[in-house]
Structure formats: structure tokens, C-alpha cells
Amino acid sequence: MTAVEPQPLTSHRATSITGRVHVPGDKSISHRALIFGALAIGRTEISGVLESEDVLATGRAVAALGAGTARLSDGQWVVTGCGTGGLAAPDQALDLGNSGTGTRLLLGVIAGHDITVTLVGDESLSQRPMQRVLTPLQQMGLEILETGRTTLPLTVRGAAQPLPITYTLPVASAQVKSAILLAALMSDGITTVIEPEPTRDHTERLMQAFGANITVSQGPAGQEIQLAGPHELVGRPISVPGDPSSAAFLIAAALLVPNSDLTIENVLVNTLRTGLFETLQEMGADITLLNVREDGGEPVADIRARSSKLKGVTVPAERAPSMIDEYPILAVMAAFASGTTKMLGLAELKVKESDRLSATASGLADNGVSVEVGDDCLTVRGMGTVPGGGTVTTHLDHRLAMAFLVMGLASDNPVTVDDATMIATSFPDFQDLMAEIGAKLSSRTEAQP
Ligand code: S3P
């Protein structure tokens, strides 16, 4: 991915956030739909694909590995797969840009193929830990060609005959679970992944839908996911619901700005992703799930959020996996609440697109919020209002940029983020959609609204 010039962006106090809108497709499901389509026999038609930088990088990668990909119209893609074990070595390195999900899931795919592949990424991705997937994948037969490397760039060789394994996840990570299950599709025997703490289950749901031989049961040490390989997947239609992690920014804007009433249609409400909504309800937020239904094997709903007075709460550590990407925006909302919010069990935040624990704390402090950061916890002392006026360093992290832009919609003074370009990794239409619902954002070259 070529580095682009940083683009600072400033948000200003808004008078109301209103409308009935859609957010783009879920990032986790979009990556997986492209990857499963590439491994399946026949055509997989996907609607609602998130066309963001991260997902497009995965689309280019599966095409480079031999799958057919075609974009029919906005969000409408067809993938023609090569069958289990049928992908081929690419001509060039796979460039995964900023995407940890794309990288880790594709490492699982590669581990199950007799091919040699180099993976590269941007500055942020090149610092993120890959050992968590390399350890189980090496047990299955993956080789790392430059011994000792644990970060991108990585050159790896997959196994001609990957071994089935039994593996207990040492960290609550859906990416690690998914990488193992993807490699297991090509192995001969039963692979068991034991999850002491449940994490998002889109891989399991999609594998079931594509016809894999997968079962999930409760064992003494947690959830046991068993996959019998080798097994062919059969291409099928997939519809991707709206991303709750993107909806979170719009919901926060509606809760914080007075006179707001916003409905976001067709949002994924899988309970392994909705820890933020649960937390917001405890904080006193006026947020309602309407028309809860099932679509394409996942629960979806329309979410209505109205201006609310929030109060501080303690967010338990065991809730972290179900809201792991939502802590920056929760911390922003906590700053406007009355009373203290304590967020526990946040160690994983340190290895996201940036060290989100310290970067969130710094961004809050730069805008006059009293905050305390521990080794795996964050305490925000909400005062009901936020002075703002700061410039936040976003460290190539899309979610930090969006969270602090939302802060400026309700703070006393505008809030600037040093670089808004990374927002395109997950939410390319963010600025337009925010403007549509009443947000005021301006770049330095534009006149102040
Ligand atoms: C994801 C899992 C989470 C999350 C990421 C997407 C996925 O990462 O933070 O944005 O699609 O599996 P971890 O598995 O590292 O927790």
C-alpha cells in the first residue's frame, strides 16, 4: 500500500444528529465471505460487501491465489472458488495493507496449501504480532522461511498435508481461531479449537453454511469447535449485514449530541459483537433494537439511538471480546458521562492497529479529560462535558480517528485528528454519511462550518 499524505480533519459542535441510514457491510464477514468463496467449489455471490481498503486487499489476495473475483455493482461481488486445497502460489507478494484480519486468516489458508507466499503490509500491520497464529499453524506444518521472524514481511511455505491439531486459544482471538479452522479444512482428520472465552463466531457460521463438517459444543475448558477435514465447501449466496463496529460511531454521535434521533437499518446484532450496546444500556443510553430478525445466518436489527444523559459504569473484563473494537468510542462516550467509567481486561487493545490503550488515553487527555491508564484497564472520569480543542495523534488507526471526530461533535471546542486517511480501511463513506446525519467536519483547507 503506498503511503498517502496525512489529512488532518476537524469536527465541530453539531446541533442534532438525525436520519435513517445504513452503514457499510460488516468487515469480519466481508473478509470471510471472500476467503470462503475462494476455497469453495463454484460461485459465491456476495451482496453488501464492505468495499474498504482492508477488504479490497483480501479480495486482491484471493485473486492472486487463483480465485476468480468480479465486482458486479456496488457491494455486489462474485467469487469463483478453486475447491479445498486448490489455490496456487501468487506471482508476487500479497500486500495486506493495514489488515490484521486479512493477514491472519490468509496465513491459515496458506498453511493448508503446498505453496510459498510472501505477505507484506503497511507500517502499522508490520508491527502487529503474528506469533499467535504462527504457533498453531507451525504445529499443522506451516514453515517460516526466514527463521525467527514473527512480524510482516513474512515468507511462509504451507504444508502439502497439514496435520490436524487440538489447540486451546491462549488469547481470546477470533482471528487465531479462524486461521486454525481454515488450515484444518485441508488437513486429514479432526481439528479441535478450544475457546476458554467465546469470540465472534462468523467463521463457524459461514463454514456451516458452506457445508463444512463442523460442530460446536461446550467442554470442560470452554467452547470446543471441531472440524473434520479434508472437506469441500460449496459456493453459495451470502448477504453481509451492516457492521456494528461502524454503526457504533454514528450511535455515539446521536447519544452525545442534543436533539438527536437516528435509526441505522440492518445492523449485525450477533451477541458476540454487541457488548457495546449492552454497556450503553447500563450507562442509561436511549438505544433500542427494532425489528430483530435473521438474515443470511446472522441476527440483524434496526438500531434507534436518541440523545441521552450517560452515567459511568464498570465494564467487566469478560465482556471485552464482544466489544474489542469499540473501546475507543466507548471511552469517548464515557468522557461525556457523569461519573467514572472503568474498563477492564483491555490487554488485547495494545496490539490492535495501534496501541489503542495508550493512544485512547492520550487523545482523551489532549482534550481535557481526566483519564488513568493501567496495564490492562482504562479509567475515564466523566464530567458531563468535554473541553476539546486538542489535536489527536491517530497512529494509522482508523477507529481512533473516527472516535475522536465524534468527540468534537459534542465538546466545547473543535477536535482535530492528525490523519483521517486511514478511515478508508473500514469505513470509506464515513465523512459523507456523518455529514448526511448532521455532523460538521472540516479539513484545514475548507472554511469552518
Ligand atoms: C476480528 C477479530 C478481532 C477484531 C478485528 C476483527 C475478526 O481481532 O479486533 O477487528 O474478524 O476475526 P482479534 O481476533 O485479534 O481479537
pLDDT band at 2 (very low <50, low <70, confident <90, very high): very low
Average pLDDT over residues 113-137: 98
- Residue 4 confidence (pLDDT): 78
The answer to whether 325 is a known catalytic residue is yes
Q: Looking at ligand 1, which atom is closest to the CA of residue 31? A: 11
- Among the listed residues 325, 355, 376, 418, the single catalytic one is 325
Cell of 127: 508491527
Q: Which ligand 1 atom is the nearest neighbour of the CA of 324?
A: 9
Q: Which atom of ligand 1 is nearest to the CA of 173?
A: 14
pLDDT for 445 equals 55
Residue with cell 474489542: 324
Element (H, E) at 400: helix 398-408
Tell me what pLDDT residue 146 has.
Answer: 87
Instruction: Using the predicted structure, report yes or no on whether residue 444 has a pLDDT greater than 80.
Output: no
Compare 447 and 52 and report the one with higher pLDDT.
52
Flag whether pLDDT at 69 surpasses 50: yes
Mutate which of 173, 203, 354 for ligand 1 pocket (most atoms within 8 A of beta carbon): 173
DSSP one-letter string for 78-131: EEEEE-TT-----SS-EE-TT-HHHHHHHHHHHHTSS-EEEEE--TTGGGS--H
Q: What is the distance between the terminal CA atoms of the chain, rounded to a whole angstrom?
A: 33
pLDDT 10s digits, 163-187: 999 999 999 999 999 999 999 999 9
Cα 64 from Cα 231, distance rounded (Å): 23
What is the phi/psi pair of residue 415, to 5°? -120, 135
Would you mind telling me the total number of residues written for the chain in this entry? 449
Cα distance between residue 353 and residue 426, in whole Å: 12
- In the reported structure, the alpha carbon of residue 162 is separated from the centroid of ligand 1 by a whole-number distance in angstroms of 24
Cα separation, 438 vs 443, whole angstroms:
16
What pLDDT is recorded for position 296? 84
**Predicted structure pTM score:** 0.98
How far apart are the CA of 101 and the centre of ligand 1, in A?
A: 6
pLDDT confidence band for 360 (50 / 70 / 90): very high
446, pLDDT greater than 80: no
How far is 326 from 344, CA to CA, in rounded Å?
Answer: 13
Mean pLDDT of the chain: 97
Cell of 397: 488507526
- Condensed to tens digits (0 to 9), the pLDDT of residues 15-41 reads 999 999 999 999 999 999 999 999 999
Q: Is residue 449 scored above 90 in pLDDT?
A: no
